[in-house]
């Protein structure tokens, strides 16, 4: 149980870092509330799957446009 929560905390931290990075390069992002972070820690496997699917779609969409 502790490992599951620790992975969730690390995952939420990485997503926060990604949001900060995107804001620095000029991509408009909405900040997370504490409740959203809490749920991210609890359901991180689902969040990871959604993130990976979106990331892969973005990569293939970018390559098709070139």
Task: Reduce the secondary structure of 22-36 to three states and give it as a string.
Answer: HHHCCCCCCCCCHHH
The phi and psi torsions of 31 (rounded to 5 degrees) equal -75, 150
> Among 2, 20, 21, 11, which residue's Cα sits nearest to residue 45?
11
Q: Measured between alpha carbons, how far is residue 21 from residues 18, 30, 35, 40, 64 in Å?
A: 5, 12, 21, 19, 25
- pLDDT per position as a tens digit, 3-62: 988 998 998 899 889 888 988 888 887 888 889 888 888 888 888 898 889 889 888 876
Per the structure, the count of domains in the chain is: 1
**What's the pTM?**
0.65
Provide the domain limits for residue 34. 2-65
- Output the CA torsion sign for 55, 36, 11, 4: negative
What was the pLDDT predicted at 10?
A: 92
């Amino acid at each position: 149980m502790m490992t599951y929560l620790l992975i969730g905390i690390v995952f939420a931290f990485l997503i926060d870092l990604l949001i900060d990075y995107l804001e620095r390069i000029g991509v408009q992002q909405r900040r997370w509330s504490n409740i959203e972070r809490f749920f991210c820690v609890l359901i991180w496997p689902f969040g990871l799957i959604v993130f990976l699917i979106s990331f892969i779609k973005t990569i293939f969409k970018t390559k098709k446009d070139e």
